[in-house]
Amino acid sequence: MPERDTAPPPASRVHRHEWTPDREQLEAASTVFALLADATRLHLLWLLAEGEADVTELATASGAARPAVSQHLAKLRLANLVHSRKEGRRVVYSLRDGHLRGLVVEALNHADHVMTGEPWHS
């Protein structure tokens, strides 16, 4: 996997939808945050933010057991957060969309500031 990029995405890459969320949208977002609340799933999503990968690659990169990675990916796929496709006997996973990538990267950038004491920025 490539080295970690700690720089925030340029403002031109940040896309904001302008509206006030309704209850259904808040519930949907809450479900995403609940899935991100598991450190292994968050790590898998961060790895997939770097590019697509199969279960073996994700297990090796995350240090998690292959069966656990498969179970986490199944939950993420059922929640429509990751996409899977067959490549021969291999199943390759990728993030569903750029919003999820941005959410994962920003959450980890935030954690980096908390852990390192780097000054906050917008």
Residue 13 lies in a domain: no
Residue 120 lies in a domain: no
Q: What is the pLDDT of residue 122?
A: 75
Residue 9 lies in a domain: no
Average pLDDT of span 50-66: 98
Residue 10 lies in a domain: no
Residue 7 lies in a domain: no
Structure tokens at 87: 């490549």
Q: What is the pLDDT of residue 13?
A: 55
Residue 81 has pLDDT above 50, yes or no: yes
Domain count, the chain: 1
State the pTM of this model. Answer: 0.82
Tell me what the pLDDT averaged over the chain comes to: 89
Whichever domain contains 93, its CATH number is: 1.10.10.10
Domain that holds residue 109: 23-115
How far is 33 from 115, CA to CA, in rounded Å?
20
Residue 43 has pLDDT above 90, yes or no: yes
Q: What is the pLDDT of residue 14?
A: 56
